[in-house]
Homo-oligomer: A and B are copies of this chain.
Amino acid sequence: MKTLSQTPRIRQTPFSERVEEAGVKAYTVYNHMLLPTVFRTPHEDYKHLKSAVQVWDVSVERQVELVGPDAARLIQMTTPRDLSRMQNDQCYYIPNVNQFGGIMNDPVAIRLDDDRYWVSLADSDMLFYYMGLAAGFSLDVEVFEPDVHPLAVQGPLANQLIERVFGQDIVDTRFFRHKTIEFNGQKMIIARSGWSLQGGFEIYMEGWYNGIPLWDTLFEAGKDLDVYAGCPNGIERIEGGMLSYGSDMTMAHTPFDCGLGKFVHFEGAAECLGMEALADADQHAREICPIEIEGPPIGTPARPWRVIGENGTYAGRIASCAHSPDFQANVAIGMIEQDFISPDMNLTVFCEDETEGRACKIVEKFWLR
């Protein structure tokens, strides 16, 4: 485990002071910003996420704001998902693709008004693609990163905490819908969403200076709920099959490769610039699969692990893996070549620092309870 050198190029967040005080042990860097990865231990964080409520500094979900008469046209150019029926209180998971159908990002789009959207990013500078398209197509739209820093509230007790601070009406928000709250005199968006399977909310915290007061308010109100600082948990998100852009999928993959074919709407999203390429990509050569790896508990790959078939041929790669305490198994996400996608296939994975391969198998589905 190596030290991370901190410089202003790796941006801190409005919550960094409290994150440090809560005893953050490790970070990753995401969109040029700090993302906590461990507070107590990955296992303790996991158990706590599944039993109580956590507050997550996910400021790294940087927003791109698109506002103006061409905002809807611009956002549709970047995704094969049909956005024509999206309502002004909706959030949509939208794979973003380039002209070749390759995935550039897999953000959540938030529609704020008929001509105003936020795109809540995974780890890549989609802002630049939006700026390039806006310039090239001479679109009447403003494109910028607003002063918005998401704070997630996740876990089975999230409803209780949110009810105490923002009231029952907010708790009644439906999945992937958003409402507006007021905090410190600032209006903010809150959505029922988040990068865990435990349920909860994401507050699109607006105004840097409101960060510490909002954090403190949540912690004060949740004392008896055992509220604690948390972060996206590797074990929990792999169990649930939530993909990480840059690890499980890259620009070399199409939505079909990633099991995201249901978000490709050839009719409704014809304006998407990658649509022509995607028409050819339907017969995809590989696909995301849930995989179980045999043997003693193993940790996270630092680089993708190679999977081979019986005859030693390349069968795919595994970029996410964790030992699940609840399922007592090494759970993993693999990108597997079609010829090898069958539960009967004898597959071997080469984990780093291990001289011998381990047997692994494709399982029917991710480990959802």
Interface residues of A (CB under 8 A from B): 1-12, 16, 24-30, 32, 37-38, 98-99, 104, 123-126, 128-137, 234, 244-247, 273, 300-304, 319-320
Are A126 and B128 neighbours in the complex by a CB distance under 8 Å? yes
Alpha-carbon distance A2/B2, docked complex (angstroms): 9
Min CB gap A98→B, angstroms: 6
Closest chain-B Cβ to A229's Cβ sits at a distance in Å of 14
Closest CB-CB distance, A35 to chain B, in whole Å? 9
Q: Are A10 and B25 in contact (CB under 8 A)?
A: no
Please state the number of chain copies in the assembly.
2
Residues of B within 8 A of A32 (CB): 123-124, 246
* A98 pairs with B131, CB closer than 8 A: yes
A133 partner, pick from B37, B136, B300, beta carbons under 8 A: B136
Q: Which residues of B contact A11 (CB under 8 A)?
A: 303
21 pairs of residues in contact across A and B, judged by CB atoms under 8 Å: A1-B3, A1-B6, A2-B24, A3-B4, A4-B28, A4-B29, A5-B27, A7-B28, A8-B246, A8-B301, A8-B303, A9-B123, A9-B244, A9-B247, A29-B29, A104-B128, A128-B132, A132-B134, A132-B135, A133-B136, A136-B137
18 new A-B pairs (CB below 8 Å) besides A7-B247, A129-B129, A130-B132? Answer: A2-B25, A2-B26, A3-B4, A3-B27, A3-B38, A4-B29, A5-B38, A7-B234, A7-B300, A7-B302, A8-B303, A9-B247, A12-B302, A124-B125, A128-B129, A129-B132, A132-B135, A135-B136
Cα–Cα, bound, A98→B135 (Å): 9
Contact of A125 among B6, B128, B301, B320 (CB under 8 A): B128
